[in-house]
C-alpha cells in the first residue's frame, strides 16, 4: 500500500481516540455514532448510569421497561397484601377464591400506586394502612421520576439527521472524490450546519501497527441553512492524504472515515450534533448519488424524497 502521502502529512493527536492498534480493534465509531468501546473493571451499577440508559434507549424499549416496572411493583405489593391477609382489606367479596383474592390485592395495589383510590377496597388495619402508605410514597416518587424521564426524552436536543448508508468514490473535477449524503428528516429547522471529516488508517511504524488520524478537507464544511440534502465532498487531489491510494489500498489500510456534524436547531434553541463513520464495507467505487429532491407537481414547493438518501447509480468503468 502506498503510504508516502500519509508519512509526509501531520496526523491529528487530539482526537481522543487510541492510536495503538495493539490496544484497540474494530471500527472506531459504530454506525449509529456511538464509541466502539466496551468498559470493564467496575461493577454493573458503577459502569451504568440509569438516567443515561433510560434516556438513550429506543421509545419501544422505554415503554416496555416502564410497563414492566409498573407491573413488577404492583405484583410485589399485591403479594404483600395477599400474604398479610385479604381480610385486612375491606370491600372484597367474602366468598371469593384464592385467585380472585390475589386479583383484588393486585387491583388495590394499582389504585394505591396511582393514587386513584376508588374506595371499593380499602385498608382496615394498621398493618395494611402502613403498607399502602409506603406504596403511595413509591408511586409518588416513581411517577415523578417517570415524568422527568419523559420530559428529558422529549426535550433532549437531537439532530434528526440521516446519513447515507454508503460512501461513494466517484470521478470529480479530474480526480476522484469521497462523497456521502445527509439530510434532516423531521420538521425542524437547522441553521449554521457544519461538518468535520477525519480519516483513520493503520500504518506500520517501528515494527508495530499504529492508527493515524488526518483531516479530510471538504468542498463545503459549513452551510447557512440545511433544508434539503447535503452531499459532502472530499476531493482526492495532491493536497489530500488519500492521494495515490487505490481502492484496494482502502481495504489494506483498514481505513475508516469519521464524520462529525453539528448545527443550530431553532426549535430547541440549542446546538445539536451527531456522528457516524464509514469503513471499507460501506465504500462503493465508481458510483454517483441520484438526486433526492424534485419540484412538486404544482411547481410551488420542493419535495425532499428521504427514501432516496442512499440511492446511487454505478458509472461505466
Distance CA 68, CA 54 (A): 14
- pLDDT in the model for residue 122: 83
Whole-angstrom distance, CA of residue 263 vs CA of residue 122: 55
Return the pLDDT at 125: 86
Q: In this structure, how many other beta carbons lie within 10 angstroms of the beta carbon of residue 29?
A: 22
Angle at 315 between CA 314 and CA 317, to 5 degrees: 120
Establish how many alpha carbons lie within 13 A of residue 99's alpha carbon, considering only the half-sphere containing its beta carbon.
Answer: 0
pLDDT (tens digit, 9 = 90+) per residue, 148-172? 998 888 888 889 999 999 999 999 9
Per-position DSSP letters for 246-274, written without gaps between them: -HHHHHHTT-EEEEEEEEEETTTTEEEEE
Kind of pairing between the strands at 283-285 and 167-172: parallel
Q: From CA 3, how far away is CA 254, in angstroms rounded? A: 13
Average pLDDT, the chain: 86
pLDDT at position 260: 95
Answer positive or negative: Cα dihedral of 162, 166, 167, 173: negative
Q: What is the pLDDT of residue 46?
A: 77
DSSP tag of 88: G
N-terminal to C-terminal alpha carbon distance within the chain: 23
Q: What pLDDT is stored for residue 85 in this prediction?
A: 86
- Domain locations along the chain: 47-155, 158-314
| pLDDT higher than 90, residue 61 | yes
CATH top class, domain 47-155: mainly alpha
- Summarised one tens digit per residue, pLDDT across range 237-293 is 988 988 888 877 777 767 899 999 999 998 888 999 999 999 989 999 999 999 998
CATH code linked to domain 158-314: 2.60.40.1400
Question: What mean pLDDT do residues 12-22 have?
Answer: 63
* pLDDT value at 234 more than 90: yes
What average pLDDT does range 191-205 have in this prediction?
88
Residue 52, Cβ density class (10 Å: 0-12 exposed, 13-18 middle, ≥19 buried):
exposed
Report whether 170 contacts 150 (CB < 8 A): no
Predicted local confidence at residue 33, as pLDDT = 81
3-class SS shares of the chain: helix, strand, coil, % to 5: 30, 30, 35
Give the three cell numbers for residue 29: 465509531
pLDDT value at position 217? 93
* Burial annotation 88-125 (CB, 10 A radius, 16+ → b, else e): bbeebeeeeeeeebbebbbebbbbbbeeeeeeebbbee
Amino acid at each position: 500500500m502506498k503510504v508516502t502521502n500519509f508519512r509526509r502529512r501531520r496526523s491529528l493527536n487530539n482526537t481522543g481516540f487510541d492510536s495503538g492498534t495493539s490496544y484497540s480493534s474494530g471500527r472506531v465509531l459504530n454506525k449509529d455514532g456511538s464509541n466502539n468501546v466496551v468498559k470493564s473493571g467496575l461493577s454493573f451499577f458503577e459502569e451504568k448510569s440509569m438516567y443515561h440508559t433510560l434516556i438513550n434507549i429506543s421509545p419501544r424499549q422505554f415503554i416496555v421497561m416502564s410497563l414492566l416496572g409498573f407491573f413488577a411493583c404492583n405484583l410485589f405489593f399485591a403479594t404483600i397484601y395477599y400474604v398479610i391477609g385479604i381480610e385486612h382489606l375491606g370491600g372484597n367479596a367474602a366468598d371469593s377464591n384464592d385467585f380472585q383474592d390475589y386479583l383484588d390485592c393486585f387491583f388495590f395495589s394499582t389504585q394505591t400506586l396511582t393514587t386513584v383510590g376508588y374506595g371499593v377496597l380499602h385498608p382496615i388495619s394498621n398493618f395494611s394502612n402502613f403498607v399502602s402508605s409506603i406504596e403511595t410514597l413509591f408511586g409518588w416518587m416513581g411517577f415523578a421520576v417517570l415524568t422527568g424521564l419523559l420530559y428529558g426524552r422529549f426535550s433532549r436536543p437531537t439532530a434528526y439527521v440521516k446519513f447515507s448508508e454508503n460512501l461513494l468514490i466517484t470521478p470529480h473535477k479530474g480526480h476522484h472524490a469521497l462523497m456521502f449524503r445527509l439530510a434532516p428528516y423531521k420538521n425542524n429547522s437547522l441553521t449554521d450546519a457544519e461538518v468535520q471529516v477525519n480519516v483513520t488508517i493503520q500504518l506500520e511504524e517501528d515494527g508495530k501497527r499504529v492508527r493515524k488520524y488526518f483531516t479530510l478537507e471538504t468542498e463545503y464544511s459549513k452551510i447557512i441553512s440545511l433544508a434539503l440534502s447535503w452531499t459532502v465532498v472530499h476531493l482526492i487531489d495532491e493536497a489530500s492524504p488519500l492521494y495515490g491510494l487505490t481502492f484496494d489500498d482502502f481495504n489494506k489500510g483498514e481505513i475508516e472515515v469519521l464524520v462529525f456534524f453539528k448545527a443550530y436547531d431553532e426549535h430547541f434553541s440549542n446546538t445539536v450534533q451527531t456522528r457516524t463513520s464509514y469503513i471499507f464495507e460501506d465504500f462503493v467505487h465508481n458510483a454517483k448519488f441520484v438526486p433526492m429532491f424534485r419540484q412538486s407537481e404544482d411547481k410551488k414547493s420542493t419535495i425532499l424524497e428521504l427514501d432516496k438518501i442512499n440511492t446511487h447509480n454505478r458509472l461505466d468503468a
